[in-house]
Amino acid sequence: MKEKASRSFVKAVSWRTVGTLDTVIISYFITGNLTMAASIGSIEIFTKMFLYYVHERAWNKISLGKEPDYHI
């Protein structure tokens, strides 16, 4: 089964939303500063979204663990 690039993009956005919220919460507990925590989260949301998208597209080209689609 092959995923479209748009699906990988939507997955990247949804995962980064969850991941960034986690980063902001952890950063707040460590720093005690909400502004600093939000700054850390706002930077990593873009870098990690890009890296996730590239990772997804690369894995889409690898057949490891994929089974063929059989249509009746």
Residue 54 within a domain = yes
- The answer to whether residue 10 is domain-embedded is yes
Domain presence at residue 55: yes
Residue 44 lies in a domain: yes
Task: Classify residue 70: in a domain, yes or no.
Answer: no
Domain limits for position 25: 5-60
Nearest to 49 by CA among 18, 70, 72: 18
Residue 12 near residue 53 (C-beta atoms within 8 A):
yes
Domain count across the chain: 1
Asked if residue 71 is part of any domain, the answer here is no
Report pLDDT digits (tens) over 35-54: 999 999 999 888 888 888 89
* Residues 5-44 pLDDT 10s: 888 888 888 888 899 999 999 999 999 999 999 999 999 8
Q: Is residue 29 part of a domain?
A: yes
The pTM score is 0.63
